[in-house]
Structure 1
Amino acid sequence: MNDLIPMLGGFLSDPFELFNIPIEEWVTQFVNWLVDTFRSFFRTYVSPPVKAVMESVQWLLTSTPPLIFLAVLFVIGWRSASWKVGLFAIIAFTIIGFMGLWDGLMVTLSLVITAVLFCLVIGIPIGILCSRKDLTYTILRPILDIMQTTPPFVYLVPAVMLFSIGNVPGLIATIIFAMPPTIRLTNLGIRQVPGQYTEAATAFGSTPRQILWKVQVPLALPTIMAGLNQTIMLALSMVVIAAIIGAGGLGLEVFQGLNRLDIGQAFVGGLGIVLLAMVLDRITQGLGDKAPGNRAGGDE
């Protein structure tokens, strides 16, 4: 009884002093086990394909003369959205070039393109599977919540422990951080396809695979493109943060400016990132507006 009274008083004053959940120790032990068990696997089988795709994209972008690149960029912006978007893209990239950041721009763009490619290749099939299997989405939903809401800096530590420093760990962290919108909105877009379309396709003898690829996916494209837009924006933000662990590009300008307290260098790098983000956003929004699902909705 004498021991119970002080314990009760302590509980009423600060109950959190009585017991602590050792989540920090559990996570540390899990990450250490993961690194010890799978480091060789990740470095042997995961790192090479990611690095190969990144280097191929980076070589293509950096070896293209700037004037030809700007011309191609105008065509992409024009065909995906409008000539105004194409013109804006040229002006934005020209400003970045005249700020002396063209090489950094190409590195950042190659990192974003590589990360988005892997997000699409992995995320769209998972999103399709989630749309067809409620149990799959029920299981994946909390995982996607964790992936999307975990602070980006948290991904850097296990990435470095598994892959060392450089572009590859930055890309892996970017892929994990940026993938959830692709999965979520692919699942949502297919689920939102009106039932009369699939019923009509079934009545005409279409197989489930034909219904998926010829009816549901085309009609869901506007929503899938919205997921692509979000994935690109998240990938760009994460690529900038990945400069801390050795990823180059415009993020490195910002990071070096912060380290040196050089406001000019940090501002210039940040301005380049903003202009790149605006160009990518306008182009992907234009692609979404011209998707078959939007045209079908407009016809109705």
Structure 2
Amino acid sequence: MNLPKIPLGSWIEALEKWLDQNFEPLFDFITLIIRGIVDGLETVLRYPPSLIIIIVFTALAWLIGRWGLAAFTAIGLLLIENLGYWDQTMQTLALVLTAAIISILIGVPLGILCARSNRMQRIITPLLDFMQTMPAFVYLLPSITFFSLGVVPGVISSIIFAIPPTIRLTNLGIRQVPAELVEAADAFGSTPSQKLFKLQLPIAMPTIMAGINQTIMLSLSMVVIASMVGAQGVGATVYRAVTQVKTGIGFEAGIAIVILAIILDRFTQRAMRNGKAAEGR
């Protein structure tokens, strides 16, 4: 039996065209905000001498994780500087931080809504499944249509790909708060906001931080894909090395991404452990 094909692709393209025609001012505003954040972070990270930035990151690593993390941070960043990928790495870090910040600002409130409403959780969960399983390259197509080429579609695609863990684990963390504590807070007359900010979020913070950690790692995993639509940074170097079959350059740029990934991962993990230790005291 030959059934007529559902014109799903045509419907999607029609929707894309309608959105582009009717929401262009909104897309321009989003572009302005994202580009402003990325440019601001790039200025902060690239304007001072690299040695200053390395000292700052090393000091932060020492405060969070003491000498082991501080030594790795210093050696890793010095290696990136030595290999000649400092500016590209700072561009990549600006992109990743922008995507992570926006993902957190959107994802944590959505996770709280899911935790407080089973209906909202049932609505958002299939969307998260779709966002995590759809090939990341597909996100680039509408992003280019709405935001043109450059860093903005790369950030948008990274947000779509990376935001689900923050939403899921914020929801999970709040739902795992012991019911006895919630009932005690209700018994003492706590308002919903007091119960959320003074009880549920502090207890759920380690789980929320685990979601934020995953979001940052997923954002970093998108840097090479984002380079395909004009985003600069180490990902663009990797992409050019692949297209030109330059193994040495690709390996060097890949090492820079690995070092940055390890530093960001250890920073968030140490911050999460320090939060648990403070909670235990």
How does the TM-score come out when normalised to structure 2?
A: 0.95
Whether the 8 Å contact between 1:107 and 1:248 is mirrored in structure 2 is yes
2:19 to 20, 28, 34: 34
2:8 to 23, 41, 57: 23
Q: 1:84-136, CA deviations, whole angstroms, 9 ceiling, x for partnerless residues?
A: 11211111111111110000010000111111111111111111111111111
Q: Which residue of 1 aligns with 2:236?
A: 252
Whichever of the two has the greater Rg, that structure is: 1
Letter in structure 1 aligned against 2:209: M
Q: Which residue of 2 aligns with 1:240?
A: 224
Give the % identical residues.
45
Distance 1:96-1:22 versus aligned 2 partners, 3 A rule = same
1:188 to 172, 176, 188: 172
Distance 1:102-1:221 versus aligned 2 partners, 3 A rule = same
Letter in structure 2 aligned against 1:217: L
Q: Which residue of 1 aligns with 2:124?
A: 140
Task: Name stretches of at least 5 consecutive residues in structure 2 with no aligned partner.
Answer: none
1:65-104 alignment runs, 5 A limit:
65-104=49-88
CA apart distance, 1:208: 1.5
Whether the 8 Å contact between 1:182 and 1:231 is mirrored in structure 2 is yes
1:142-221 alignment runs, 5 A limit:
142-221=126-205
Distance 1:200-1:18 versus aligned 2 partners, 3 A rule = closer
How many aligned residue pairs are there? 281
Q: 1:156-193, CA deviations, whole angstroms, 9 ceiling, x for partnerless residues?
A: 11111111101111111111211111111111101101
Tell me, in whole angstroms, the C-alpha distance in 2 between the residues paired with 1:254 and 1:91: 22
**Pairwise CA RMSD of aligned residues?**
1.6
Q: Which residue of 2 aligns with 1:127?
A: 111
Whether the 8 Å contact between 1:112 and 1:232 is mirrored in structure 2 is yes
Q: 1:29-88, CA deviations, whole angstroms, 9 ceiling, x for partnerless residues?
A: 222222233234311x21111111111111111112222211211122222233211211
Letter in structure 2 aligned against 1:97: E
Q: 1:180-237, CA deviations, whole angstroms, 9 ceiling, x for partnerless residues?
A: 1111111110110112222232333322211100111011010000001100011111
Task: Name stretches of at least 5 consecutive residues in structure 1 with no aligned partner.
Answer: 1-10, 12-16
Letter in structure 2 aligned against 1:34: L
Give the stretch that moved more between structures: 34-43 or 49-58.
34-43
